[in-house]
Structure 1
């Protein structure tokens, strides 16, 4: 089953190409459209297509720029450029971005089907060159399920390291890595829920990840999330870990508290805690800590008895110039200027 994206600024042409896809009678999983390159990129991030058919001349972002962005994604996406005779020379520039197929307007049923079949043959050949057996995916999921159920962090990390090393040796495109990790997560979730003790489910969306490092960070955080969730359920721990973290940060604003230290305090894996914290607060750990420090600094600056140099230490900045620079970046003025605005002499 294949995913197709059609990009053209003319509604009638989009509809016509959609009809050609439907008439091809080939195995199509999804068929989506976009009116320009900007919308197309958003569609690609939401769900990576196997094939993109794109016009050359479009507003906001033309086909050439779209081809460039797709090439930079390092994704196994095959692109077909659709152009008129007048644009053919311009369309040839797309060769440097990996475009190998062209369709001239008006597009015929026979021509379109021929190109689509060729794309499918090429993709099937590439897919068969390197793969990971389903049995191996199932073995990984089974070992992770056991590690999660027995709360064995070290064993879980060992399996994750094996998966990462295996994927590196295969040199897969990003979209294939995403698909396989999503499949492993699904297998693990099914095994955990099959025990019929707790309902285990993690938010796991890799579609927007821009590179393999981001994909892997999201995957490992989700996997560790199962273990942390199970640990909390068994302890009957009802406290919100993010709220616990906030309270800890608040009481240690004068210290250089690290993410790892806070994660250890509330009993969570640092990688999982980092993902959970950002998902809950819409801020990274450092962004949140800095904001709370600056908010506390503003309150202290409004009290004349506090010297500015003392305030910097009270909110965790041993280096006074660093505090001044951070405050100006956050508030738009120096601490002394902020005081003057309050009618207080610096």
Structure 2
């Protein structure tokens, strides 16, 4: 039911219209009346009516002033004014304000009923138009989401179709970044430098960021605290200026999310932070990627489960022995590449020369091959865990010493991993296992504690930002506020 209010300083008019009009017949509830402008405003704020009937001449605030204030706050409200003074200036101002009707006193019942009928027709039309607009917008959003998912899955093959779905917006896009989310969170705050498209692909929650400016500082600042505030984990792929490379960013984002969920919850993990092994192909299947993941993270049950799935898949495909042999060897050599990430000599892996491509030729059946595969992967895993146990403390201790000496520089995970002679991915997992926190959290905490010391000494915020390794003042301020609860300037002033 629609809600209406009635304002007039004449009791007879208020009482007469209230009693003599059958408001419910029109689907309207008269929720209140007022005899002065100030009371009228209070009534509107209290009930949020759909229709306002008001006289022009009222004490406190005249009717046109009331209408101006109402329409400024809620332009969708239908306003009808009436007056015993049919002056041109009143009419002109009323029209300019956007009133729906202007009635000259004395007001009669037929006049009000006729006006109500016109109002109802107008509201019905507005509702129809709004519904069509909403349906059109929903349809367009679905089209954009579908086209963007196609872009992630197929790349340049569907780029023309994707461009068409975005209409004019596409000409300003300078780069693309894909985020993979642990679950659907609230919308990422919008900004003139980028816009985002949310996509659900099966169990995957994706946020595709289209950059409208080369400077992505604002996006970085949002991603610093957005995941933690909403309890979600985010993995981001690299940013690519060529939209045809969106599938790469998509795959990288999924990898980053997987490692991010293993290492930290409610945090943002960048693909750049987990590192790459150039000797491991980028076009692996999901099963192969999962096997590498469980090897790196030292998860034996997970590894065995993935191996069983791999074997089941091979058996269902009824492949010939040569193909099976090739697929098994590929897995073994992927496992050896992961083993090499420790920085140790893998020639001692099997108490001598380890030649899988020779050993597998001695096997006659696929059952023997599958059994041998499990043995080899278990051997690699056991060697990997033994090396990790022996090296973990010394390597992380050396890394912490290096970080403490160099945290004021633009220090990357790659730099620290190289210092201890390890692959960045392996090092980041080792560091988390030993320190019970991720490398980036450790570095950030170290920098923030040093920043506090400098601020207590009265140093300028910009100077402190540089001294602790942040060359973007705003980035430093956002991180400091997240860590200390107040911005750097407020912290310094408190001392």
TM-score range, shorter chain: 0.3 to 0.5
Q: Which has the higher contact order (CA 8 A, sep 6+)?
A: 1
TM-score normalised per structure 2: 0.31
TM-score normalised per structure 1: 0.41
Higher Cα radius of gyration: 2
